[in-house]
Structure 1
């Protein structure tokens, strides 16, 4: 068994009505139409999301690699979520040699990762370097009080504001922003609610 840190999603151990589980699963299903080619799932955790993409996108992808820094979690994913198109590796998302280790990708998924990363700029540089020209990044993060300010989670370095989130992806040629609240994901440009706890971007290199 892998340790439940309070943030880790392990579907096998959770009720199907768990809001956190629903929220995480929704992001992977939302991503399906945008995924193609060679795919990287950054901080894949227990591997359920990598598995969703492998199964749902099998006609459109070459392979998907799920990476995580925790060896126990990678071992769990390899056993629990095997698929012929997927593999799992131990890696640090801030390692500046990642492109040498993993190669380059057409699609990178990064859900609820960046708020855990102290070296945010290095992480974003790695993502950009790992993407092929024309490649797509799909990234999510919770909103909060902003960089350098305390947030409610002991697991997060900080939580960016909506404005800080929108400014993160200046190097990309195009970007579309979305808001998420539970199972609802809708374009930021025509949001129907006054407050959303999470942001998602689809950014193309």
Structure 2
């Protein structure tokens, strides 16, 4: 099964209403200027919401070669550079310290290494530099979302061979205490939290939404049965949704931070 979020064109389509809207809001807190580092840049959407005349140098890093190829086609310019790399492995020592950095909708994917990412961003920024951060946030807006996901996953894991421990997307959400603790090197300038229910008209819409976080489920099964397992997982989850037993919501935290002096 194709994960629509793993291809640039489909990512642009499925992320338009939420991911890009949140990114636009995040960057409006204080328009970036000077040199800008973009971690998990994907297709380079950050550049859609910045004043390019105020950006001296932009460096975007993403682990997906396909996303970077799309970004290079969409945003080619002398002062813009995209790199294919895992941020954890990417050497930044040869770059001068940046005026600002963006880490939008990707910090939760680094768990349990989120502190390493935050510390690396701290070192990459000038004192007083800005960090634009957004990530999946813990919430109690919808009761029972996690329990239904766990119940369905348990049933699917009994049907298909597994190669990893059971994990659902809620394991990749931050809570206020854990995030503030991890950001001890930064001053919080502005924060905003979004929680809103998500509704679906068709199974395809439901599946597309969940595939954004579905890699945590997909990777639990042997390669030979992954497509079957993930298809069964989403179908059973959708049955709970149609029966009004399963509801889902979007929850994210947006933060503008300033790097403290070392």
- Report if aligned partners of 1:115, 1:157 keep a CA contact under 8 Å in 2: no
1:38-57 → structure 2 map (5 Å cutoff): 38-47=35-44, 49-53=45-49, 56-57=50-51
In structure 2, the partner of 1:88 is: 82
SS in 2 for 1:22: coil
Kindly provide the CA deviation profile for residues 134-162 of structure 1, in whole angstroms up to 9, marking residues without a partner as x: 100010011137xxxx8968578621123
- Between 132-141 and 80-89, report the one with greater CA deviation: 80-89
| Rounded Cα–Cα distance in structure 2 between residues aligned with 1:57 and 1:38 | 12
Number of the residue aligned with 1:137: 131
Q: Over residues 35-55 of structure 1, what are the superposed CA-to-partner deviations in whole Å (9 max), with x where a residue is unaligned? A: 1110011111122x13314xx
Give the match's secondary structure for 1:197. Answer: strand
Cα-to-partner distance string for 1:54-107 (whole Å, 9 max, x where unaligned) = xx4123210211111122321222123324432211222213x63214432111
Alignment of 1:102-121 (within 5 A): 102-117=95-110, 118-121=112-115
Q: Which residue of 2 aligns with 1:35?
A: 32
Structure 1 contact 108–137 (Cα < 8 Å) conserved: yes
Answer whether contact 1:116 1:156 (CA < 8 A) is retained. Answer: no
| Moved beyond 4 Å, runs of 4+ | 150-157
Q: Note closer, same or farther for the CA distance 1:37–1:15 as it changes in structure 2 (3 Å cut).
A: closer
Q: 1:172 is matched with which residue? A: 186
How many aligned residue pairs are there? 180
- Structure with bigger RCO (C-alpha 8 Å, 6+ apart): 2
Unmatched 5+ residue regions in structure 2?
Answer: 140-145, 150-166, 197-248
Q: Give the match's secondary structure for 2:18.
A: helix
- Separation in structure 1 between the aligned mates of residue 36 and residue 170 of structure 2, nearest angstrom: 26
CA distance in 2, matches of 1:72, 1:155: 24
Aligned: 1:21 with 2:16: yes
What is the match of residue 5 of structure 1?
A: 3
Rounded Cα–Cα distance in structure 2 between residues aligned with 1:132 and 1:125: 13
Which structure has the highest helix share of the two? 2
Relative to 1, partners in 2 of residues 1:140 and 1:88: Cα closer, same or farther, differing over 3 Å?
same
Q: Secondary structure at the match of 2:117?
A: helix
Query: Are 1:158 and 2:172 matched, yes or no?
Result: yes
1:128 aligned residue (119, 122, 138): 122
Provide the C-alpha distance between the structure 1 equivalents of 2:99 and 2:5, rounded to a whole number of angstroms: 28
Give 1:8 shift: 4.6
SS in 2 for 1:34: coil
